[in-house]
Amino acid sequence: MLATIWFVLWCLLWAVYFVLDGFDLGMGALLPFLARGEGERRVMYNAAGPFWDGNEVWLIAAGGVTFAAFPKTYAVMFSAFYLPLLLLLFMLIFRAVSFEFRNKIDNSLWRRCWDLVHFLTNFVAAVLLGVAFANLFKGIPIDQAGVFKGTFFTFLSPYALAGGVFFLFVFMLHGALWLCFKSQDQLQERALAAVCLLWPVVLVLLGAFLVLTSFYTGTFGVYLERPVLFAIPLVALAGFVGVKTMFTRRKFLLAWLCSAVFIVGVTFFGVVGMFPNMIISSLDPAFSVTAFNGCSSELTLKIMLGVALVMVPIVLLYQFWAYRLFSHKLDADEIVNDKHAY
């Protein structure tokens, strides 16, 4: 029972990370396409500025929970995915540097270089997250001892690349919605246009990814065995439709929240479709790492659950306060005169 609870919590932590860091990854990937001039670029940086480092806390939490609750999963995952995860780590490091270093020197070439770094790191990080999770859904070649028997190119199957593209466009839609909420004037109009373009693209990619999922994974088999689980993709679909409905009414925050529901639903759809597996072996299903053969002792899981029930609400309250505090729209002229702005 405790292993199942922690499996759900593990999924939830990844979903929260995708919702919160997804919008700033998406905005970063849209930077060269939406911003015109220094003022608008700074608005886009500051739309994510107060939040991006706090958002990454959920990535650390997801990794920490994997280590503590599912040590075997952690060992196999961080061994098999060593190169992709190292690349993701470098992307997140240089993204952080781009936020902090961009305005250290008052030089246009310096800023343009960091703008390029910002775009590339957000773009690649979004794709890598999609590729990694598509490989988890599909399965990777690990043997009975959990040793990875592939190469870096093993991760670049058509299904995995489709997952990378899908995640990228979902995050860009999520980021464009946040920018609609935070920006004004011409930048907001471009963000509106981006949402109008991205929503149907994501719809097509969603359909294509679901078709590929039915061919490359056993996800739908899990749902057919337990039809009640179809409530998860229905919630995701409701969120996606809600994006269009709220956006059309120019209720941008509600549209962003609907996008968050969509991302949570998609994450749960994929991860629950693996249950009880956490790392599926493509060599032999018997070699797979599950929530039951890869979990910690019952005592460890009980202690962790107690800690989580106390600490997670505190973190959520702090982040709610931070988002509410910085919920105002951004003005390029005010940012220029604010020495604390990015």
Element (H, E) at 277: strand 277-279
312 or 237: which carries more pLDDT confidence? 237
Q: Is 107 exposed, middle or buried (0-12, 13-18, 19+ CB in 10 A)?
A: exposed
Q: What is the pLDDT of residues 71-127, one digit of tens each?
A: 999 999 999 999 999 999 999 999 999 999 998 888 999 999 999 999 999 999 999
Q: What is the DSSP string of 8-25?
A: HHHHHHHHHHHHHHHHHH
CA distances from 257 to 74, 246, 301 (A): 31, 10, 31
Residue-level pLDDT at 302: 92
What is residue 168's predicted lDDT score, i.e. its pLDDT? 97
**Which residue reads 């946040």 in tokens?**
178
Mean pLDDT of the chain: 92
Q: Is the pLDDT of residue 150 over 90?
A: no
* DSSP of 132-176: HHHHHHH-B-B-TT--B-S-GGGG--HHHHHHHHHHHHHHHHHHH
pLDDT, residue 22, reads 94
pTM of the model: 0.95
CA distance 60 to 171: 19
Q: What is the pLDDT of residue 240?
A: 97
**CA pair distance 44, 202, nearest whole angstrom:** 22
Checking if the pLDDT of 340 tops 90, the result is: no
What are the Cα distances from residue 190, in Å, to 30, 70, 186, 200, 301?
11, 44, 6, 16, 48
Residue 222 neighbours by CB distance under 10 Å: 16
**Domain map (residue ranges) of the chain:** 2-281+298-336
**Residue 333: pLDDT over 80:** no
Q: Which residue has the higher pLDDT, 53 or 126?
A: 126
* Fold classified for 2-281+298-336: Formate dehydrogenase/DMSO reductase fold (1.20.1630)
Return the minimum-mean-pLDDT range out of 47-56, 110-119, 159-168, 237-246: 47-56
pLDDT over threshold 90, residue 339: no
Give yes or no for residue 268 having a pLDDT over 90: yes
Distance in angstroms (rounded) separating the CA atoms of residues 193 and 26 = 15
Rounded-to-integer distance, Cα 71 and Cα 65, Å: 9
**pLDDT value of residue 119:** 97
Residue 74 is encoded by which pair of tokens?
């952690």
Run of H or E including 7? helix 2-34
H helix or E strand, kind and range, residue 290: strand 289-290
Distance CA 201, CA 229 (A): 26
DSSP per-residue string spanning 190-234: HHHHHHHHHHHHHHHHHHHHHHHHHHH-SHHHHHHHSGGGGHHHH
Supply the pLDDT for residue 30. 96
Question: Residue 109 has what pLDDT?
Answer: 93
pLDDT digits (tens, 9 = 90+) for 197-214: 999 999 999 999 999 999
